[in-house]
Every structure is written in C-alpha cells, then in structure tokens.
Amino acid sequence: MTKQFKILYRTVLILLAVAAAMLAGALILWTIGADVTKTYSVIIFEPLKNKIQIGEVIIRAIPLTVIALGISVAYRSGIINIGAEGQMAMGIIAATAVALAFPGLPKAVLLPLALTAGAIGGAAWGFIPGLLKAKLHVSELLSTVMLNYIAAQFYTFCLRGPMLDPAEITMGSGTPQSMRLTKAIWLDRLVPGTRIHTGVYIALFLAFTVWLLLWRTSWGYRMRAAGAGERAARYGGIGVAGCLVAAMVISGAFAGLAGAVEVAGVHRRAIEGITGGYGFSGIVVALFGGLHPAGIIPASFFFGLLIVGADMTQRMAGVPANMVLVLQGIIILVIVATRMVLANPYLEDRVRRRYCRLTDRGREE
Amino acid sequence: MDFTVNILALGIPFSVALLLASLGEMFNQRAGVFNLGCEGIMAMGAFLGMLVPYGAGHGAPVPGTFNVLGLLLAMAVGALLGLLFGLAVVTFRAPQGIAGIGLQMFGVGTAGTLFRHFVGGTQSVPGIDRLPIPVLSDIPFIGPVLFSHNPLVYLTFLLVPAAWYILFRTPWGLRVRASGANPRAADSVGIRVNLVRFQALAVGGALAGLAGAYLSLCQVKMFSDEIIAGRGFIAVALVYFGHWRPLKITGGALLFSFAQALQLAIQGQGIDFPYEFAVMLPYALVIVVLAFSRESLLLGPTALGKPFNREMRT
Amino acid sequence: RPNAAEAAGGAVKIALIIESTVDDKGWCQAMHDGILQAQKELPGRIEYSYSEKMKPVDAGSAVLQYVSQGYHIIIGHGAQYKNLMLEMAEEYPDVTFAFGTSAEIGPENVFTYMPQSEETGYLSGLIAGMTTKKNTVGLVGPVDGGDAARYNRGFVLGVQAVNPKAKIMVAHTGSFADFVKAGEVAETQIKAGADVLTGSSQQALGALRAVADHRDAPIWWVGQDIAQIRITEGYKCIAASSYNYGAVIVSLVAKLDAGVRGGECIPLNFSNGGFVFAFNETLKNMYTGAVEQKVNETLEKFLATPDTLDWSAVDYSKL
Amino acid sequence: MEPNTGKITSLRVEHITKRFPGVLACSDISLSVGEGEVLALVGENGAGKTTLMNILMGLYRPDEGRILINGEETVFRSPGDAFAAGLGMVHQQYMLVANMTVLENIALGYTRAWSPLALDLDMVRARIDEISRKYGLAVDPDAYVWQLSVGEQQRVELVKTLCLGARFLILDEPTSALTPQETDELILLLRKMTRELSIIFISHKLQEVKNLSDKVVILRRGEVVFEGSTADHSSDDIAALMTGREIHLPRNEAPECEGKPALDIRGLKVRSDRGFLAVDGLDLSVCAGEIVGLAGVSGNGQRELAEAINGLREVEEGEILFFGRNIADHSPRDVIDAGMGYIPEERNTEGIVPSFSMKENFILKDAGSPRFSARSFLKLEEIDRNADRLRTEFDIRSPDTDAAAGSLSGGNIQKVILAREISRMPRFLVAVYPTRGLDMGAAEFIHRRLLEKRMEGIGILLISEELEEILDLSDRIAVIFKGRIIGTLDRRTADSRKIGILMAGVRNDEAV
Ligand SMILES: Nc1ncnc2c1ncn2[C@@H]1O[C@H](COP(=O)(O)OP(=O)(O)OP(=O)(O)O)[C@@H](O)[C@H]1O
Ligand SMILES: Nc1ncnc2c1ncn2[C@@H]1O[C@H](COP(=O)(O)OP(=O)(O)OP(=O)(O)O)[C@@H](O)[C@H]1O
Ligand SMILES: [Mg+2]
Ligand SMILES: [Mg+2]
C-alpha cells in the first residue's frame, strides 16, 4: 500500500517535472519558430548515437568531475568556491610554463611535473580567498568573483606576453596562445577516432581520493565538522581557520589540475577560452552530485551530455547558439527544485494521507 | 584638477548599473534569499529595455515615451523572473546558489535567443540622453561631476536613500529584515515570511532588470547578447562589500567605477606596463579595501540561503 | 569518408566555426558575409553551415560532427583554432581545413589566410591624424592580439606618418565582446580630449556608439568595418575598410577544383583585393581635399606593393 | 486584523490530532480553559505540549479536531489570526530577532503602528511603556536583543505578547531559563494577571505547577493521560503520572573530599561580545572530587567564564591554573588535551554538529587521537563499537547510531554530549545548565551521572540557575554577581534563601 504509493508519488512528481521543463523550453522554441520535437530529439538522442559524440561527452565530464570534486571539498568545509574559473586558468598557466620551460624532459618526468605545477597554480589562487576569509573575514563570494577577473587578465597577459607562440610573432598576428606543447606532456588518447584521453583515470582516481579524504581520514572529518558546525568544531578543538584555508587550497588545486589536464589531454597548448565556464558548471555538478564523489561522476557525465546535446542543436535543428544556455538553465532549475520536493517528508506524508483517504472511500463505494 | 573631474564625472555613470543591481540583490538577501541569477535578469532587462523603442521605430529617433515603456517592461519582466526564482527556491526550497546559476544561464540565453529572432545583429537605439540640470551643471567641479548625467543616474542616486529608508524605516523593510534574520520569529508574530521573500525577489528582480535596461538604453544605447559581461556577479559581490547596507554598497559601487575610470584614463595617458594589470585594478582594489574594513557580520541576514517552512525544523 | 576531390566541379560543403556570432558586425560576420557573397558568385557550388560561440573544446565537437557529415572545407575563423585544425587535418587527410590569421604554410590539406589589417589600420590612421583638431586621437582596443593588434598598430603608424605630434591614446578593455566597457573607454578618451577615434573587434561598436552620442560635437570615428558606415551611427564614421572574404572563398573553391587542397597561405591585402576601402559619402566635406588625396596615394602604394608596413615594431609604451 | 477586545471566557480544543512524519505528536487531545483559569500542561519531553500550543497559535494546522473560543469554532490560518482572537504565546525557544532592537521586535507584530510608508515607532514605544508600567516589566526598548540575557529576553517576549493584545496567555516552559527570583516574580505576576486573562502554562518544574495552576493536564506520547484539579494532587503524584514511574532526584550526601585544587582561577577578567568586562576579577577554586555549584542570575558572566576556561574566549587578565598549569588563553585543543571536559550551554549548536550522525559526534574531540585513527585514517570499527557502547550505556533513544544528531530530541542530544564528555575520562568537568529544558526523567539521569563522576574523584564546576539542582549536587556553592564571586556557601549551611540574597548582589555581612 505505502510502497505502491511511494512509487506512484515519485513517478508522478518526476513526470510533472519533465513536462514542466519541456514546456518551458518549448515556449521559447515556439516563439522563435524553431522545430520543438526535432530540437528535443537531438538533445536527447544525438549525443549517444555514436562513439565520437560519447567521446565528446566524456572529455567534458573529465574537467567537470575534477572541478566539482574540489568544489565539494570546499563546500563541505563551509566555503563556497565560485572561483574555480580563475583557479583553472592559473593551473593552465602554471602547467604550460613548466612544459615550455623543460621541453627536453622525458614524458615520465615532465607530465607529472606539469600536472603538479597546474595543481599548485590553482592551489595558490585558492589560497588567497581562503586566507582572506579565515583571517580577515572577507566573504569568499566577493573575493572569488573578483579573483576570477584578475586571473582572466593575467591569463591573457601570459599568453600574449611571455608565453606567446613564436610562430604568432613571425607568421601570425599575435593571437594570445602558447606554442604547441611538447608531446611529452600529452595525455594519450584512449579510443581511436575520439578525443577521450587518459584524464579519465585521473578523474576517477581523484574521486576515490576525495572520498577517502572526506570520509575516511581525520583531516576530512575535521574539515567536514568545520563546515557543518563551525561553533561545535571550535568547541571540539578543531582549527576552523586552518580547515578553511586547507579546503580552499585543495579546491583550487583540483581546479588547477583540471586546467592542466585539459591542456595536456585536449588542446595541447594554452589558448583563450579553455576554462569556458567549467568553473560555474562545476558548482552545478558538485551540488547535483550531492557533494559526494559517487554522485559527482554520474552528474558530470549527465551534464556533459547536456552540453554536447544542446550544442548540437544549433547544427542539427538550426536553433541559435544561445538556446544551449536556455535549455541548460531550465533543466538545472527544474532538477534542483524537483529533488527538494521529492525529499520533503512532510509533503509526502500529507499527500499519502489524502491518497489513503481517497482510496479507502473508493473501496467503500 | 581636470583629470580628477573627468574621473569622477565618468565614474558616477559607470557605477549606476552595478549600483541598481546591487541594491536589488540587497533586498533579496535581506529577506534571506541569495540570488546569483542577477546576471540573467540584467540580460533580460537590457534586451527588453531596448526592444520597445527599437520595435517602435527601427533605430529611428522615437519619442521618449517608448524609452520609458522599455524601462518599465524591463522592470516588470525582471520582477517576474525574480518571482520565478522564488518559485524554485522559496516554494520548492531548491538550493539557492545552484538555482541562481540556472537562472543566470536561462536569462542570458533567453535574452540572446529572442534578440536574435526579433532583432538580429548587435543593434543600437537612440536611447535616453544626458540631461544636464540647468543651473547646477554650470557650477565648476560639482556641476560636471554631479549634475550633467543621464536622468536615470539622478534617479538611481535618489534611490539610495530611498532604499535605506524603506529597509530601516518602513514596516515592509522591517518585515524583510526579520524574514532574513530570523524567519521563525517573524512567522510567530504573523508575518508571512515566504510572501515577504517573494515580494523582495520581485523588487530585486525589478531593480536588476532596470540595471540591465540602463546599460542598453542609457550607457551604451545598444544591445548584444554579451552586454552584461559578468556585471551581475560583481553586483552580487558588492552586496557583501557593503554588508547589506545601501550606503556602503553605494560606496563599493563607486569605488569600483572610479577605479575603472581611473584605470582607463591612465591607459590612455600611456603606460609602460602591460595593460592587463591596469584592467585588474578595480577588481583588486575592491578586495583590498574590504580586507581592511573589519565588520561585525551580526547585522546581516543570519538566515541567508535557508528556505523557511514552519514544520521543517532543519 | 568525405572526399574533397569529389567536390571538384560539384557542390562544395563549407563549414564555418566562429568564436562570436554571424551578426557581430565584426570579425566573424565579415567571414560569414564573405561566404554568402561567394555563394552568390558561384551559384549552386557552395553548401554552407556555421557554428557560433565555439569555445575551443566545442569547436572540436563541431568539427567532428561536420567531418562525419561529409563537409569538404572546414574553416576555423581565428588562430585560436589553429591547433584543432592541424590535429584534425592529420586525423582526416581527405578533408580540407582552413584557419586564419596565420601565414604559416600548413600541411597539404590545410589552407591558412592572413589579413594584413595593418594596411586598413594605416589608412584609418592617416585620416584620424589629418582630421584631428585637438591633435589627440583615441584607439579603443580589445585584447592586444590577433587581427586587432595588426589593425591598431597600423593605425598608430598611419597617424604618426601624417601628424607626428599628435597624441595617441591607446586603451584596451581586455575583452573582445564587452562593448559596454569599450563605450566607457571611448567616453574616457573623449573627455580626455580625443576628437577622432577608432576601434577594432566587435566591441568597437560600443565605442562608435559613444562617439555618436556626442551628436553635434566635432568628434569623429574611423571604422575597421564598412558595415559601420551603414548603421545609424554611420554619420560619425568618416571612412572604413573591410575584409573581402568573398574573394578568399571563391579562390578556395577554384583551388579545390584545380586539385589543390591546402599547403598554401592566402594573404588578404589591398593589392590582392582582400580589402576594400570606402569613404562615407555623406561626410564629403570631412575628407575632400588633402585627406582624400593622401588616402588615394597610399592606396596606390598598397595596390602596387603589399606588405610594406612594419606593424610589429610599434610599441604603445613609447607613445 | 483589528483585534476585538472582548474577554476570552472559555477556550476549548476538541479531539486534536497532529501527525509528523513518523511521529504522532498529538492524538485526540481535548481540554478546556475557563475565564481566569490557569491550566498547567505537563509531560515528558516529546509528549506533544509544544505542538499542541503551536496548533492553538495557528502555527500548525491540526489533522483533526477543532478549536472553540467562547463556544464558537474558530480556524486559525496563521498566528495573525490567533493574535486577532486574543491569543498570545511565549515560545519555548524565544522568537526574537537578535540583530534588531526590542522596539523593532515588538513593532514587528504591532500592526497598528504600521502605515504603508512609515513605521510609527513612537506609538510602539508608548505601548511598551504602558504595558511595562502596568505589569512592572521593565525593558529597554532600544537595546539590541543579542545584548540581553536570557531572563531579559524572556521578559521582552512577555511584554511583546501583551503589547500585541493577548487576552489569553500561553507560556511554553517560561521558567526553564529563569533564576528562582525571576521565577517567583513571574509566578506572582501571572497570578496577578489571572484577574483579566486565562493562562496555559507549560513546565517541567512541578513546584511551579503547584504554585500557579488551578487545573493540570498531563500528556504522554501525545495523549492526555490525566486531567484534574491541581489542588487534589501532590507533585509526586503528578510526577508519577507523568513518567509512569517514581522519580527520585539524587542528592550529594558524600562526605566532602580533601582533594588538591584541580581548577584554580585567580583575578580572571574576560570581555563579553559587547566588549564590557563580563568576568571582572573572579577568583574560584575547585578541588578534585568536588562539585562546586556556581549559582547566579544568568548574564552575570557564567557563559564567558565557561568559554574562557575552555579556551573559546580571550582572557583579558588573570590566571586559570589547571592542576597547577596556567591554561589561560590556550587553544581549545590544549585545554581539551589537558583533560578538561565541557558540557556547553548551547546544546544544539555548540555541543553537537547537528547534521553529523551520533557516532560521528562521539569523536568530535578525538578524531585525531590514536584511539579512533591510525596515521590519520579513521578506525571505523572502533568508532562504531564506541558509539554502540555509549548508546546503550546512556540509553540514548534513537533508531541507530547513524541518525543525525540534530534530529534527536533535546534530552537525547544532551545525553550524547554527556556521554562523549564523560567517556573521554576527563580530569575535570565544566557543566553549564546541563538539564535546562529537560524533563524530570532526563534530569535525574544526568544528575546521577555527574555524582558518579564526582565519586570517581573528578572535579566538577556546575553552572546552573536551578537552585534545587545546585543544592542537590554541590559540595560548595559559589554565587556569581557582575562577574565576581560575591560569596561562597557550604552545602550544609546553604539554603535557597541565602543563595537568593547573594544572587541579588547583597553580601552576607550586609544581609540578615
Ligand atoms: N526536523 C525534524 N524532522 C523530523 N523529525 C524530527 C525533526 N527534529 C526532531 N524530530 C523528531 O523529534 C524528536 C525529538 O524532538 P524535540 O526537539 O521535540 O525533542 P523533545 O520531543 O522535546 O524531547 P526532548 O527534548 O526532551 O528529549 C526526535 O526523536 C526526532 O525523531
Ligand atoms: N516540526 C516537527 N517535525 C517533526 N517532528 C516534530 C516536529 N515538532 C515536534 N515533533 C515531534 O513531535 C513530538 C512532540 O514534540 P513537542 O515539541 O510538542 O514535545 P514537547 O512536549 O514540547 O517536548 P518538550 O518538553 O521538550 O518541549 C516529539 O516527538 C517531536 O519530536
Ligand atoms: Mg516543547
Ligand atoms: Mg525538547
């Protein structure tokens, strides 16, 4: 009885949500006179049609996972990091710098070195807001936003200054980008014909590490305590300030590493626009995934799916590129709302009782 | 001297969009709702603001009434988006940060999409012109700095004390502050917390919409889907700079914009260091200044970000 | 497997990948218009599709999709796509790829193109230098790189050539798209005394709009794109040049027919018709006489011998 | 909602039932209160008292049942309706906005002072003045609530309720945080009030119930198990009916020990959040194996003292010698490692991490200790074992040790804290208001544990406002006033009168 009700209740709510999302998107598609069914079918089916597209989904899931993992570490420790965008940029710069500085080194040395550098670059950029919050009570929401812009400027400075591709000077027009990096820092492609690269393993490994850190070590325990109950943590003799800074450093390191992996795995040189909003999507993915690695991995795959599918619509259904954002926005809003409604025992209880009353009456008649 | 006058005279109009949006966000947060979607609402405001005069007379000069209609439409839809956000985070209790990002994507995307459909390519409009105040604008120094701006600039700076008064001296402001600081207490004396939050979201949305429309109708007098370019996020950040107080928020917005004007002017005078570092100035300055102004956060909305429901205790 | 050879004589499927939009009245629209024009000039020869707002990673997905749909020529409009194009070219030798700005000679299935925009900037500079009454000109830059960097430096050379004493205000917004900031730059420079301004990339429109806002003041604009003469603000725009990508595309198709599938760089300059220049007829009084004469002389030179300007020597900090 | 000012001659609730997910908070409750009557509502924690009152105030809608005022059925959609009908409630957790002034807090509900564009604060001020004069309840309208002591806040709540025109008062555990004096004053005041209004009075302290109420209703697990006139029943009967068993609060009869001083505080000065010296030259020493009860009107520096001892608050001046070593201004960690145990005042926010499971809360202070972690990897089995042991030993009522501590009941939360602190084998224990808001059963349990510890030779500093508690447990009783120890009494010679005088700030010699 109750079991059967639970299933009914959930399915109905989810169907309502899907309907709402589709309708909201359809309204806009209709106004611009686009082919609604075509658009939706592209989003839903195309990304999974062939291995190339699945590959595209995965290469987006990789940085999303890594960044979301970092963000969830910070979030669990009570600091909201919307600075992943900037931290990622700094990671790219650091990794590229290393690759440019030691082109001669063998892969076994250079690749780890560059990835570490990336992590350190991001960590440094995460350290600043961490310290500002812990010591001077500067809201991370302010500092991280501002630091994103500063990082972006520093990024272009490096790419058109010290790191500019010599070819851009001699035979180009100084488009901000580094020269193609030595093969020694390339992450190998895994599946021929796709761009899937060994970053997948890195992401999975990091997911495991984060789980280990947060739920299996005393460090993780302290950080989570500091985040979940600052006063209680202080009372319990936990150095809250230290936890904040540590969390931001880790969070930044992850974002930086994501940047390094993106360079080594996909672009093989530093270009403008690599970060391309991953910092923000990372927040979404982290919360979608319930701030837990086990949730973040599927969440980032789903979000990658969403990005690729929506992006294909402009080519296959002829809708403007901006429609991508519209659909992502709607889906995010609807999903988070639905999840909270599903998780509301009070509502479920009330509905159940009404439902029972109805069915009982149903029986009597 | 001249240099200073220029910086000040430029900084003030530059600050208006940020200021309007920040004041809006301030009302949201005072009521306990953290709206990261400001950017999206601004984009919609910017688009709709210019759409009306544009539609009225494709680019040709049109009577000011259409501009006013544009502003009103921008505010109305802004308020509507605020309410939509409320539906997600107040009614359905969705986590506010992530929902805000959703709203931002939705707003920016929708503005861009509809713009492409109804207008296409980057499009300029006659917009609303400067309105130097007759006598006052001739006063040396003060005149150019304070009294030779766009009508909306004056309006915005009149709005600052108004916002202060509303927040601290009217029953509604009292309700807003209570709903953000201790919703249970507010509820226990018969204040409908979630209704208040919806109202605050509507006001905040309207102001964000107006901020966008200021950009497209008063500052650049044109639109393209990239018009907001992150100003919404800066506006949110400024609320934290101002610790939810209208006057300090204004200070933050001005600080940022003066730094902006200064930085651009210095670039123009010729600099022998990479311009990127000049561009960084306003962003860095805001952080530094805040870092050295200590503040008790006790005065802020202590229940910020927490959905309210009588029965649920967590 | 797509095969460019089969396209010879038949319909050529061209795909364009751009960072902004096809209606940005700037860099990307120029290429888009060029392809449309080529479509007109070669009826039935060109099938065309484009992808807007392509971040580097998205560009990859787009290319893969275009390849699988059998496109013959895939253009990455911007040197930031260079890497992608070269990689894909390796991966899909039967497809022809093209990107610019670059003068590099790519592999046999990659074309590069290089607008030598310093020439157009130089012309703008001449006009600005001769028009300014306050001996102050403004230059609203986006990011100091790419095509914009060439145009801007050409502009500086132009001004200095005719008016060495003129003060040249250079400021960058740090973004290609933030035309609100571009407007702020222009406003700042005007307040600081600049009376002729120019700007590059799609954000330049913001600056032009700011200039147009001084409706009756003697403040003028020189454009990087002829489109800027035709829009409402055109009445402030004394003259403008623009790319003529139509010619580039037509020649690409011709080369394909001739079996050449890459390994060449196609420069754009006045002498090969890659650029066109136009005065704003409605502002005759602004340029008739010395200005017009100087401009025409210079154009003659450019037509005779391209690539004469050493744009990379310009150093803003020395202004 | 212009209130009608007629008297409330009778209030009846009939067959009220309220369910929460998994909990039947009120089942088929009926009761009635006549004009000028005082109804005492008692019952163990979680019996459903507060829930029932929240229903009366329109905060919750009952699943079944109805409310009748003066005989006619009334439906409250929100507290506003309840106010309009003349009901007013002082809630268990005070409903005040900490960062607004008293004036603003009252204006919040005083809609008569509202006009769309202005808030007539003078009208509110006048109203407050009127009420405080009428009932002799002095409050400072311009003080921020966060600046007020618990007692003052409680007074504000009362004033607020009266200002809003309550003609029927509901008081949910109003005395749980009051000192004897304050309590007595309140009881007197309420008695006076019964001339013009009726009262429902919730308390765990049966003495008060006896003193004040005409009728008593006992709830257990959401049901009315007893209803009768107070006069005919001794408080022991009521206690028995309430818990279903006899309750004997234990007393400290042990011979006082001659242990060496464990905690020795000298000339301690500590600032409060508001910046003044809350602890102002305090001297106090507690021996091992001794319980020193620190009595005092709350807000006289108790909280600051406890926080200073535990390294949670900066020390301005003075020494805190802990077994001879000065721990003043040491980090909480140091103090903990020195062997200090601490039961904090703020049970729900400081004592536990609410969202953490019970077992995680048990290791709050020991995550890094070799007992629960090796090379900073947590020993999960050990943590589980520990949790199960403590759960049974302290019989904490919860489905399992994975339940979020915050979802536990107040009493059980307190047991979790106690269990953690005691099981850490501290050399000393600071216990602040350890039984505030708990029913007799829970209180008894905690008292027993504290006495056990004392017998094991642990020194205990017991900070409390409940004189019974202090008199029952302490070997010595120190009274704190304005941040100083104003006098120390021996258990044998102490009685509530003497203590009361000291708490009021009058020295022994002056007294008598
Ligand atoms: N937010 C919540 N949602 C669902 N159930 C809850 C929630 N909070 C508490 N509970 C349930 O309420 C019970 C205790 O809550 P409460 O704070 O009222 O304590 P209590 O009933 O007053 O008893 P006491 O305080 O003495 O031990 C817990 O057993 C728990 O099951
Ligand atoms: N909002 C709620 N959500 C879930 N359960 C609740 C809620 N409020 C009360 N309960 C549960 O209902 C029962 C009655 O709670 P209530 O607070 O009324 O008890 P009480 O008699 O007031 O206890 P106390 O003496 O500690 O105040 C408890 O088990 C409590 O856990
Ligand atoms: Mg209760
Ligand atoms: Mg309780």
Give C295 to chain A, closest Cα distance, Å.
24
Query: Which helix (DSSP H) or strand (DSSP E) does residue D446 occupy?
Result: helix D440-455
More confident position, A176 or B64: A176
Q: Per-residue pLDDT tens for B211-261?
A: 999 999 999 999 988 899 999 999 999 999 999 999 999 999 999 999 999
Domain-ending residue, one of D420, D450, D466? D420
Q: What is the pLDDT of residue D1?
A: 40
Given this model, what pLDDT does residue A220 score?
95
Under an 8 A CB cutoff, do D95 and B189 touch? yes
**Looking at the structure, do residues D317 and D371 belong to the same domain, yes or no?**
no
In this structure, is residue D3 part of a structural domain? no
C-alpha neighbours within 13 Å on the C-beta side of residue A41 = 7
- Would you tell me which residues 110-169 of chain B have a C-beta closer than 8 angstroms to some C-beta of chain A? 110-114, 116-117
Q: Are residues D222 and D104 in the same domain?
A: yes
Instruction: Choose among A308, A305, A285: nearest CA to A295.
Output: A285
In 3D space, the residue among D125, D90, D129 whose CA is nearest the CA of residue D104 turns out to be: D125
pLDDT at C6: 59
- Are B312 and A346 spatial neighbours (Cβ–Cβ below 8 Å)? yes
Q: Is residue D5 part of a domain?
A: no
| Cis before C101 (ω within 30) | yes
- pLDDT at A62 > cutoff 50: yes
| Pocket test residue of D17, D44, D50 for ligand 2, highest count of atoms within 8 A of CB | D50
Distance from CA of D498 to the nearest CA of A (A): 35
Instruction: Indicate the SS3 state at residue C168.
Output: strand
Q: Which of B115, B107, B106 is nearest to B54 (CA)?
A: B115
Domains along the sequence of chain A with CATH: 1-34+322-365 (no CATH), 60-318 (1.10.3470)
Tokens 């609807």 correspond to what residue? A334
Mean pLDDT of chain B: 91
D50, D189: one domain: yes
Q: List chain B domain ranges.
A: 2-129+142-292
Q: ipTM value, please give it.
A: 0.91
* D2 part of a folded domain: no
**Measured between CA atoms, how close is B280 to chain C, in angstroms?**
9
D74 forms beta bridges with D67
Residue range A227-259, pLDDT digits in tens: 999 999 999 999 999 999 999 999 999 999 999
Does residue D471 lie in a domain region?
yes
Of C184, C205, C317, the CB nearest to B222: C205
Q: Spell out which residues of chain C touch residue B229, defining contact as CB-CB under 8 Å.
A: 175, 177-178, 180-181
Q: Across the 512 residues of chain D, what is the mean pLDDT of every consecutive 10-residue run? A: 65 92 90 91 89 93 92 89 91 89 94 89 94 89 85 89 91 81 85 89 88 91 90 84 76 71 93 87 92 88 94 93 93 94 90 94 93 92 94 87 87 92 93 88 90 91 89 92 91 85 74 42
Residue D339, Ramachandran bin (φ over 0: left; ψ between -120 and 50: alpha; else beta)? left
Mutating which of C180, C208, C221 best tests the B interface, going by the most B Cβ atoms within 10 A? Answer: C180
- Provide, as residue numbers in chain A, all residues whose Cβ is less than 8 Å from the Cβ of C103: 171-172
Subunit contact A231:D350, Cβ cutoff 8 A:
yes
Facing residue for A173 by CB, picked from C53, C65, C150: C150
In this structure, are D311 and D171 located in the same domain? no
For every residue of D203-228, DSSP letters joined together read -S-HHHHHHH-SEEEEEETTEEEEEE
φ, ψ at D459 (rounded to 5°): -80, 140
Q: What predicted TM-score, i.e. pTM, was given to this entire model?
A: 0.92
Greatest CA span in chain D, whole angstroms?
72
Count CB atoms within 10 A of the CB of residue D111.
18
In chain D, how many domains are there? 3
My answer on whether D314 and D443 are in the same domain is yes
Count of beta carbons in the 10 Å neighbourhood of residue A349: 16
Integer CA distances (angstroms), B15 to B141, B149, B215, B263, D291, in order: 19, 12, 11, 14, 64
pLDDT band per the 50, 70, 90 thresholds, residue B297: low
Work out whether strand D277-287 and strand D261-271 pair parallel, antiparallel, or are unpaired. Answer: antiparallel
Residue D396 and residue D412 in contact, taking contact as beta carbons nearer than 8 Å: yes
How much is the average pLDDT of A19-41? 93
pLDDT grade for C1, boundaries at 50, 70 and 90? very low
Phi-psi region of D234 (alpha: psi -120 to 50; beta: other; left: phi over 0): beta
Q: Which domain holds residue D477?
A: 249-339+426-512
- In this complex, the residue of B219, B265, B272 whose CB is nearest that of residue C183 is B219
Is there a domain that residue D452 lies in? yes
Place of tokens 């001249």: B2
Domain boundary among D199, D228, D243: D243
Please give the DSSP secondary-structure letter assigned to residue C9.
Answer: T
B2-129+142-292 — its CATH code? 1.10.3470
pLDDT given at position D332: 95
Per-residue pLDDT at D512: 39
Q: Residue range A55-69: average pLDDT?
A: 96
**B245, B62 in Cβ contact below 8 A?**
no
Q: How many CB atoms lie within 10 A of CB B65?
A: 11
Judge: A172–C79 Cβ closer than 8 Å, yes or no: yes
Kindly determine whether residue B186 and residue D108, on different chains, have CB atoms separated by under 8 Å. Answer: yes
Residue A1's pLDDT is 57
D–A touching, 3+ CB–CB pairs within 8 Å: yes
- Residue C8's pLDDT is 57
- Helix or strand (DSSP H, E) at D53: helix D49-56
Looking at every residue in chain D, the average pLDDT score rounds to 89
**Nearest chain A residue to C60, by CA:** A56
For the domain that residue D291 is a member of, what is the CATH number?
3.40.50.300
Cβ-defined contact of B298 to D119 (cutoff 8 Å): no
- Is the predicted pLDDT of residue A218 greater than 50, yes or no? yes
Please answer yes or no on whether D95 and B185 come within 8 Å at the CB atom: yes
Tell me which of A90, A140, A145 to substitute to probe the interface with B (most B C-beta atoms closer than 10 Å).
A145
- Amino acid identity, residue A254? F
Whether residue A312 and residue C114 make contact (CB cut-off 8 A), yes or no, is no
Look at residue C214 in the predicted model and tell me its pLDDT: 92
Chain A residues with CB under 8 Å of D379 CB are none
Q: What is the pLDDT of residue C2?
A: 46
More confident residue, B62 or D183: D183
Rounded Cα distance, A64 and A295, in Å: 12
Question: Is D19 in the same domain as D150?
Answer: yes
Per-residue model confidence as pLDDT tens digits over B127-173: 888 889 888 888 888 888 898 899 999 999 999 999 999 999 999 99
Q: What angle do CA C77, C79, C82 make, to 5 degrees?
A: 95
Distance D435 CA to ligand 4 centre (A): 11
Length of chain A: 365
φ/ψ (deg, to 5) at A289 = -80, 10
What is the DSSP track for D283-315?
A: EEEEETT-EEEEE--TTSSHHHHHHHHTTSS-E
In terms of domains, do D50 and D68 share one?
A: yes
Search chain D and give the residue with CA nearest A231.
D350
- For the cut 80, the answer to whether the pLDDT of residue B57 exceeds it is no
B310 touches A at CB < 8 Å: no
Encode chain A in three state secondary structure: CHHHHHHHHHHHHHHHHHHHHHHHHHHHHHHCCCCHHHHHHHHHHHHHCCHHHHHHHHHHHHHHHHHHHHHHHHHHCCCCCCCHHHHHHHHHHHHHHHHHHCCCCCHHHHHHHHHHHHHHHHHHHHHHHHHHHHHHCCCHHHHHHHHHHHHHHHHHHHHHCCCECHHHHHCCCCCCEECCCCHHHCCCECCCCCCCECHHHHHHHHHHHHHHHHHHEHHHHHHHHHHHCHHHHHHCCCCHHHHHHHHHHHHHHHHHHHHHHHHHHHHCCCECCCCCCHHHHHHHHHHHCCCCHHHHHHHHHHHHHHHHHHHHHHHHCCCCCCHHHHHHHHHHHHHHHHHHHHCCHHHHHHHHHHHHHHHHHHHHC
Distance from CA of A283 to the nearest CA of C (A): 19
Most A CBs within 10 Å: which of C65, C66, C84, C151, as the mutation test of the A interface? Answer: C65
**Average pLDDT in the A177-200 region?**
92
Mean pLDDT on C261-272: 92
